[in-house]
């Protein structure tokens, strides 16, 4: 018997998504001095809205933001705005009205504060009361996943059929591995699914166990909460979700296997300045309304 209570939840459909948003966004200062980084626009909607829409598309319509000081505007974004809506309706701006109302309707958004943020593991632990004894998803706001190549749906399917903890993995170049959690893996009978045998948070250059990096999508079982309670601060002095997952991966008697779904679609990183710019340009160039004019300008500019 291991030290963790095995609550072995019944296999229910996952309904809840947890989205940590308490980070300070220091990489985007001074833009993020008074505005949460999650509200920086990616074309014409805040980055966080893409993530919430991704969760809703996968059937997760109960969303918990793990928030913090200075982040109230994120909740406002998903709340009704009666005065604005009345004005848009009165002015006949129906398309804009629909966009504004869509943010309210896309999911039921709850929030809990992280208080003194002590890392991603600590943020996830703050979801315990809201989540209860069910499997749940965690989506990190910096990672945007191509809507045309769904990832979360596949992870939920793997969770349901294998009753496992499921982590999204992406092949990255060796010289980028130190920026991520990195997994040691073994193949399974399914081509896109691997068994995770170990995980390291941000391994020093040259020590990564593979080129498979954790990207910000997880489907977790509720046993993770007990493990997080007992996880000591790790890299950067923070309670790392990766370390709790490593505990699960090293002892399947706690909560079954930890599996990785290897994603081959496009993942956009909005947490890094250069990658953020590339994301905005790529998504704008693919939009039906903006793309033609924007691409023509881009082509012209590339020749200068």
Give the binding site for ligand G1P (CB under 6 A).
Answer: 120, 140, 142-143, 180-181, 201, 213-216, 242, 271
**Cβ-closest position to ligand G1P:** 181
The two structure tokens encoding residue 153? 């749906």
Shortest distance (Å) from residue 12 CB to ligand G1P: 27
Shortest distance (Å) from residue 53 CB to ligand G1P: 19
Query: Which residue lies nearer to ligand G1P by CB, 96 or 184?
Result: 184
Shortest distance (Å) from residue 182 CB to ligand G1P: 8
| Cross-strand partners of 195 | 186, 259
Query: Which residue lies nearer to ligand G1P by CB, 138 or 164?
Result: 138
Shortest distance (Å) from residue 168 CB to ligand G1P: 9
Contacts 24+ apart (CB under 8 A), 158-164: 158/193, 158/219, 158/259, 158/261, 159/14, 159/135, 159/219, 160/11, 160/13, 160/14, 162/256, 162/257, 162/259, 163/11, 163/221, 163/256, 164/221, 164/256, 164/257, 164/258, 164/259
Shortest distance (Å) from residue 81 CB to ligand G1P: 30
Of 23, 14, 15, 17, give the one whose Cα is nearest residue 142.
23
Query: Which residue lies nearer to ligand G1P by CB, 62 or 142?
Result: 142
Q: From residue 21, how far is each of 28, 140, 206, 207 by CA, in Å?
A: 15, 8, 31, 30
Query: Which residue lies nearer to ligand G1P by CB, 97 or 268?
Result: 268
* Helical (H) or strand (E) element with 110: strand 108-113
Query: Which residue lies nearer to ligand G1P by CB, 236 or 292?
Result: 236
């Amino acid at each position: 018997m291991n030290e963790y209570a095995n609550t072995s939840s019944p296999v229910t459909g996952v309904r809840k998504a947890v989205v940590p948003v308490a980070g300070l966004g220091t990489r985007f200062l001074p833009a993020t001095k008074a505005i949460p980084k999650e509200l920086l626009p990616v074309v014409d909607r805040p980055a966080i809205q893409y993530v919430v829409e991704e969760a809703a598309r996968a059937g997760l319509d109960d969303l918990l933001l793990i928030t913090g000081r200075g982040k109230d505007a994120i909740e406002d974004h998903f709340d009704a705005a009666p005065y604005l809506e009345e004005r848009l309706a009165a002015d006949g701006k129906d398309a804009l009205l629909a966009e504004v109302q869509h943010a309210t309707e896309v999911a039921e958004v709850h929030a809990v504060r992280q208080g003194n943020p002590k890392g991603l593991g600590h943020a996830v632990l703050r979801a315990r009361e809201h989540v209860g004894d069910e499997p749940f998803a965690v989506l990190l706001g910096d990672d945007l996943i191509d809507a045309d190549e769904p990832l979360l749906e596949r992870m939920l399917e793997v969770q349901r059929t294998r009753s496992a903890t499921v982590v999204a993995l992406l092949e990255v170049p060796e010289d980028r591995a130190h920026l991520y959690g990195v997994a040691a893996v073994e193949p399974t009978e399914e081509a896109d699914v691997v068994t995770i045998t170990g995980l390291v948070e941000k391994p020093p250059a040259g020590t990564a166990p593979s080129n498979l990096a954790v990207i910000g999508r997880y489907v977790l079982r509720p046993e993770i909460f007990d493990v997080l309670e007992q996880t000591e601060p790790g890299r950067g002095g923070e309670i790392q979700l990766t370390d709790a997952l490593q505990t699960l991966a090293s002892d399947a008697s706690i909560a079954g296997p930890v599996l990785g779904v290897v994603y081959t679609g496009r993942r956009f990183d909005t947490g890094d300045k250069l990658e953020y710019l590339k994301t905005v340009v790529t998504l704008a160039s693919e939009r039906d309304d903006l793309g033609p004019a924007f691409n023509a300008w881009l082509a012209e500019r590339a020749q200068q």
